[in-house]
């Protein structure tokens, strides 16, 4: 993400990471998350319904800031932006993927999991990144150790984060928000229990650094 583009790190403390199997669920799900106080929604490009879900949310939920996650190719970048994605998130990055994201015109969070990847992005002028998979890659202690030598880098850690661990991440000076799925339990999604999703989103939206 370059300084010329807006940041997604400050929209909410938690960015829901959503896997949508049925595009007809996208709008009520997004409305529940927004009503709960989580406007930034990352729809992962892991299912055939994902792009239709992004289109639907972009068209019908104006208070949502819908983004696309699991973006792994320049084609994926073009498809996501064409569908209305307002930010992009990748689990990792290559030169061609980074070039496509930088040319997309929307904010992006390239994924990193080690110090060398962070330094490489900083050299290229990218300061905001996804730290993934957060828990497996070292979690809070790892990110805390990066804040000293690399204070200019800011992160959205994602992967294995829970409502219990989220406040510890959010207390770090180099963490703008976290990505998570705990407000989207499988049984609630299967039952289309949007009221429960909204309630869990509201609890997540209240998480702040201690």
Q: Which one of 42, 95, 117, 144 is the catalytic residue?
A: 42
Mark whether 144 is an active-site residue: no
Mark whether 42 is an active-site residue: yes
Closest C-alpha among 148, 164, 103, 101 to residue 128: 101
Q: Which two tokens stand for residue 80?
A: 């996501």
Q: Which one of 128, 130, 135, 198 is the catalytic residue?
A: 130
Rounded Cα gap, residues 88 and 162, in angstroms: 22
Catalytic positions are 42, 130
């Amino acid at each position: 993400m370059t300084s010329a583009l807006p940041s997604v790190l400050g929209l909410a403390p938690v960015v829901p990471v959503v896997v949508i199997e049925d595009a007809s669920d996208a709008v009520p799900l997004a409305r529940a998350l927004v009503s709960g106080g989580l406007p930034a929604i990352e729809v992962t490009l892991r299912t055939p319904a994902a792009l239709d879900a992004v289109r639907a949310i972009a068209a019908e939920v104006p208070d949502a800031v819908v983004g696309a996650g699991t973006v792994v190719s320049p084609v994926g970048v073009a498809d996501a932006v064409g569908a209305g994605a307002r930010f992009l998130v990748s689990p990792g990055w290559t030169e061609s993927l980074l070039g496509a994201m930088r040319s997309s015109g929307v904010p992006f969070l390239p994924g990193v999991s080690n110090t060398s990847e962070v330094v490489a992005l900083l050299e290229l002028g990218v300061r905001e990144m996804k730290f993934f998979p957060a828990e497996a890659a070292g979690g809070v202690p790892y990110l805390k150790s990066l804040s000293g030598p690399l204070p200019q880098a800011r992160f959205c850690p994602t992967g294995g984060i829970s409502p219990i661990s989220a406040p510890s991440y959010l207390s770090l000076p180099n963490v703008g928000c976290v990505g998570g799925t705990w407000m989207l339990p499988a049984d609630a999604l299967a039952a289309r229990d949007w009221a429960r999703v909204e309630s869990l989103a509201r609890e997540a939206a209240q998480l702040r650094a201690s």
